[in-house]
Amino acid sequence: MHKNLTTLAARFSVLALAAAACAAQAGTLVINTDASDPAPKAAWEAMAKGFMAANPDVTVKINTFDHEGFKTSIRNFLSAEAPDIVTWYAGNRMAPFVNAGLFEDVSDVWTKENLGTQLKSAAASMTQKGKQWGVPYTYYQWGIYYRKDIFAKNNIAVPKDWKELIAASAKLKAAGVTPFAIGTKALWPTGGWFDYLNMRVNGYEFHMDLTAGKVPYTDKRVQEVFDRWDDLTKPGYFLANHASYDWQDALPAFVKGEAAMYLMGNFAVDPMKKGGLTEAQLGFMQFPKINNVPMAEDAPTDTIHIPAKAKNKVDARRFLAYAASAKVQGEVNAILGQLPVNKDATKPTDVYLKDGFAMLSNAYALGQFYDRDAPAEMAKAGMEGFQRYMVKPETRKEVLERLEQVRQRVYK
């Protein structure tokens, strides 16, 4: 009898442990996000609803913060009352949390779900110390939007390399058309130019090393970037008085045909169309090749992470796998009006998103944009310097010397 009671007790104990394990896997999944704008909020609600339908043992609870509030509080809640899932950004913006041990290594999810293949273009920007620390779920392309009609009128083919781009710019300038629209009053558009010139001249790895503070701004390889920038600034190929314009203020010149190209993110397409441009007039092209380096692109990427101190890591991993899937990424990005990172997702129907999807799916790697990849103080000084140089190219030497002083202070 005693033996039977002991056996029953042992069995009960095993069952209790199994039940506890199931309870740990089930229950509530807490997500902290800054998806406070209408489209992102709707996308996250749809993702949560879909996940709960596929996993009825889990209840998802979303805490939505405003953008600035989220940025200032994320380190606190990662360190103290950590949620199970948190949204953030790829590349160097992710590094401080990885280095502080606040993000969970999710390389196992990448291996199990074959994400290295499906999310190939974003793999480098999600990898630190040889491991993956989250999954990307949405991004958008940067590139050169151009006036097809003006190119045709001046018998200009879409430039495939730097030599062709400079030749096209010279031809446009001679025809009385400013080659490039730009507004640098808010500084950040200069970051796009620096990103692309540096990634095309020196490659993605060098660009990431520079924005991580590992390379002096006075390095000869940075000088070569400005040599190429000189090819555009010195002949006057940018919109005059651009320092007095925000990026939207430069749109009328592009819409009216006074300027023929605009390096910008895909969010510019809507105001370009609202300004009156049709698909017959508006084209998109990849930033042309300069040196023989793999073609990386700027594609600011939103990401999903598991905090190291999360309570429900089992369901959090299930959520990461769900959010990384081709089907879910296609559905979510249809709501967002952006691009799925999963290359097997349903292709967008919008012509510009379709071009962006093809380009980014085949990209070597993704820059996150200068003011995401570099720390805030360096990014501010950098973009102030880029603007000053674009207005007065003769200040190049002192601009780079100043940026080197800032680099030495910021990355101590």
Dihedral of CA atoms 142, 143, 147, 152 in degrees, nearest 10, equals: -160
Averaged pLDDT, 18-31: 59
What pLDDT score does 5 carry? 38
The Cα–Cα gap between 15 and 370 comes to 54
What pLDDT score does 26 carry? 53
Q: Identify the residue whose tokens are 């101190």.
A: 309
Neighbouring CB atoms inside 10 A of 304's CB total 23
What phi, psi does 146 have (nearest 5°)?
Answer: -140, 160
- Tens of pLDDT along 158-202? 999 999 999 999 999 999 999 999 999 999 999 999 999 999 999
The Cα–Cα gap between 321 and 365 comes to 21
| More confident position, 290 or 19 | 290
Residue 390 has pLDDT above 60, yes or no: yes
Residue 324 has pLDDT above 70, yes or no: yes
- Tens of pLDDT along 333-371? 999 999 999 999 998 999 999 999 999 999 999 999 999
Q: What is the pTM of this model?
A: 0.88
- Tens of pLDDT along 123-160? 999 999 999 999 999 999 999 999 999 999 999 999 99
What pLDDT score does 412 carry? 86
Choose among 276, 277, 299: nearest CA to 364.
299
Contacts 24+ apart (CB under 8 A), 151-156: 151/260, 151/283
- Of the chain, the percentage scoring pLDDT greater than 90 comes to 91
Residue 281 has pLDDT above 90, yes or no: yes
Q: What structural domains and CATH numbers belong to the chain?
A: 27-139+300-343 (3.40.190.10), 142-298+368-411 (3.40.190.10)
Q: Identify the residue whose tokens are 């680099």.
A: 407
Three-state secondary-structure class, residue 396: helix
**What does the mean pLDDT of the chain come to?**
93
Q: Identify the residue whose tokens are 């501010």.
A: 380
The Cα–Cα gap between 327 and 309 comes to 29
Averaged pLDDT, 28-51: 96
